Amino acid sequence: MTVPARELLADLVVADEDDVPGYSRAKFPHWITQHGTCDTREVVLQRDGQDVVQDDQCRAVSGTWYSEYDGKTITSASGIDIDHVVPLKEAWRSGASQWTTPERRAFANDLVDSQLIAVSAGSNRGKGDKDPGNWRPPLQSYWCTYSRAWISVKATYQLTANPAEAEALSGMLDTCEA
């Protein structure tokens, strides 16, 4: 049985986040090999795209991707970023600074939970390392799905949420149909 997002949100530890020193993307080894020559990025491009063709090195050479954040359709893999729904630096500030490198590697390459999504490069770069208290997808119709994904990842990895983040998530859940 799936726990409703509001229950998961209520169970998150709400605490102010410290800008814990020592963060580096390199502490979250990402785009590791998943199978054959396919790394995490290529697996997500294949999963999230339509009519994706990959070369013998598993690189996406053609296809179409719909960016859920901003509603843009992208026809080149170079215009797509693979977003960590909960950004790596946000995870660091929320508890991942205490994890081992293998734990951070698993988080950065998580294909099972709601952590990775193919989106337009522009929307991903606009988001940066911001949490929902400071950034929401431009496409308001995606707020329900986004907030549920964010909450699920935070709950799965036992990460904290700051007060503004928790409040924004609750408001985004209000956009979900009953």
Confidence class for position 145, pLDDT limits 50, 70, 90: very high
Question: What pLDDT was estimated at residue 178?
Answer: 55
What pTM value is reported for the model? 0.94
Rounded to the nearest integer, the mean pLDDT of the chain is 95
Give the residue, 172 or 17, on which the prediction is more confident.
Answer: 172
In the chain, which residue ranges form alpha helices assigned H by DSSP?
A: 5-11, 40-48, 88-93, 101-108, 121-127, 143-156, 163-173
Question: What pLDDT was estimated at residue 20?
Answer: 84
Chain-centroid distance of CA 44 in Å reads 12
